[in-house]
Amino acid sequence: MTGLFRRGAVLLGVAGALFAGMQDGADSKLRELREQSMRNPERLDLRLALGNAAVQSQSYDVALEAFQDVLAVLDPDSAAAGDVELRIGETYRLKGDLESAASALRKARELLPDNSVVPGALALVLDLSGKFGEAEQSYRDALKLDPESATTMNNLAYLLAMHGGSIEEARVLAARAHAADPDSGDFSDTLAVVLSRAGDLAGARAILLGLVCREPADEGFRRHLATVLEQEPARGTREDQLLSALRDSGSSPDLVLALASKIR
């Protein structure tokens, strides 16, 4: 997973934060909550918990039904309704229904104008939908509400670099995100992509070699390093060997690691 889809996994920790506490034993928890909810149909907290557990079990239709049941009895103009719309939007995103996700997240944006997670989530959906101009604005809206969000900076930097934005702004944003969490492979990867787009192949190569040595099976890191090596005007024998291994999807992680370690 790389680029946009890698960022989807990282996005503000939205899914993890919204549906936290359900990861372990999600299927059994789902069954338990189904039974409890059926016995206590008036308990909205159980319906909401059921929806959360269903998301963790990837039972997205069950989750959506539960969230819609909760939404139906809430004041449609309330912050509580906005929270449920956010959950609905994230569930549709995970399900792959980007149009429905954007619709729910726009409703959540109206109801939760001060919540930075909502425009960040909406931005990712728009990004995935190829609506890059709208996505850029939504990322910027998220940054206005939370200027220190490293993930939003990372996502905006990647969008700017890949879709005709300011490379200098992308470099600054990517560097800030990386500085906030230098151990994040995703942030490092974005910084490398931005540097390569800015013409700093040496800087990009150094970062990507480190990432490939750390995670030699990661297809995204391998692909980005291959792209950088392909652009180098003069490659040695070792670089050519590594490039060949990177291009070959059948190359083992051990081989890639061995070759990358020699030129790191």
Averaged pLDDT, 40-68: 88
Is the CB of residue 182 less than 8 Å from the CB of residue 188?
yes
Please give the single-letter amino acid code of residue 45.
D
The one-character DSSP state at 234 is S
User: For 116-146, how does the pLDDT look when each residue is reduced to its tens digit (9 = 90+)?
Assistant: 999 999 999 999 999 999 999 999 999 999 9
Instruction: Choose between 145 and 264: higher pLDDT.
Output: 145
At a CB cut-off of 8 Å and minimum separation 6, what does 31 contact?
none
Task: Let me know: does 238 contact 258? Beta carbons within 8 Å.
Answer: no
What rounded mean pLDDT belongs to the chain?
89
Q: How far is CA 240 from CA 61, 156, 233, in A?
A: 49, 33, 12
Beta strands in the chain (DSSP E): none
**How many angstroms separate the CA atoms of 74 and 198, rounded?**
50
For the ranges 29-43, 59-73, 120-134, which has the lowest average pLDDT? 29-43
Residue ranges per structural domain of the chain: 1-147
As a whole number of Å, the CA-based R_g of the chain is: 21
**Terminal Cα-to-Cα distance of the chain (whole angstroms):** 23
Residue 191, token pair as written in the block? 């910084």
Which pLDDT band holds residue 16 (cuts at 50, 70, 90)? low
The answer as to CATH 1.25.40.10 being correct for domain 1-147 is yes
Q: Which pair of structure tokens corresponds to residue 101?
A: 């996700």
**For 106-118, what is the mean pLDDT?**
96
